[in-house]
A and B are shown apart, each in its own frame.
Chain A
Amino acid sequence: GAVVSQHPSRVICKSGTSVKIECRSLDFQATTMFWYRQFPKQSLMLMATSNEGSKATYEQGVEKDKFLINHASLTLSTLTVTSAHPEDSSFYICSASTGLESSYEQYFGPGTRLTVT
């Protein structure tokens, strides 16, 4: 149980275009989903927290107009990188949590490698 998928796993796009990444919880309802960014050989950096049906909460320094997050259902959250630039190239990982007070755990997707040329 507790499987999270991401699509696509890899994407290459041209500078100036937008890219959408999907994160799905396959066998549980995810009240809360998290989006992280990871640079090579570094740890995960939390970008934003999204709760189903409400606006995402962005971490300091993360541009909300550039990284659009939508959490329209209990099993799907999307991250759209708008007007992508080469510096947006990175490994983007989502995770999902039930959000229950009894649950401290989050379950990670396999990640999406974004390359902006």
Chain B
Amino acid sequence: TQLLEQSPQFLSIQEGENLTVYCNSSSVFSSLQWYRQEPGEGPVLLVTVVTGGEVKKLKRLTFQFGDARKDSSLHITAAQPGDTGLYLCAGARNFNKFYFGSGTKLNVKP
């Protein structure tokens, strides 16, 4: 059983469309990170959110941490083919342990 569930698992959209990926848990996390991973490579950190209700923006990406620090969302505006990849959320229960979500595979078609 995954501690963090992501939805959707797969997403295939056209360039220019918007999308939202959700990361949900019944557990509280001290922080939550979002990563993007390309095939055959390690995950690359996109953002860390720490405070409940926090919203962070990274160009066309908007990240939100739930008020209760149990869930998070990633919204991409005007998706581009370069956004294609596996998106992973990871929650930290304390500073020394991180748990990954089930992953969302995004494919943006030109």
Contacts and interface: CB of A to CB of B under 8 A. Distances in A.
Contacts of A111: 40-42
A66 B3 CA distance: 25
Interface string A40-51: 011111100101
16 contacts: A4-B42, A6-B42, A43-B2, A44-B43, A44-B90, A45-B100, A46-B99, A49-B97, A93-B43, A100-B95, A105-B45, A105-B48, A106-B33, A106-B98, A108-B44, A113-B40
B88 interface: yes
B31 interface: yes
Contacts of B102: 42-43
Nearest to A51: B96
Interface residues of A, number: 30
B42 A110 contact: yes
Given A41-B105, A43-B101, A109-B42, A49 B33 contact: no
Interface in B79-110: 88, 90, 92, 95-103, 105
A71 B92 CA distance: 21
Nearest to B103: A43
A104 B95 contact: yes
B40 A44 contact: no
Contacts of B44: 108
B50 interface: yes
B96 A43 contact: no
Contacts of A34: 98
Given A95-B98, A106-B45, A107-B45, 20 more contacts: A6-B42, A34-B98, A41-B105, A42-B103, A43-B2, A43-B88, A44-B43, A49-B96, A93-B43, A104-B30, A104-B33, A104-B50, A104-B92, A104-B95, A105-B45, A106-B98, A108-B43, A110-B41, A111-B40, A113-B40
A41 B106 CA distance: 12
Contacts of A107: 45
A99 interface: yes
Nearest to B50: A104
Interface in B51-66: none
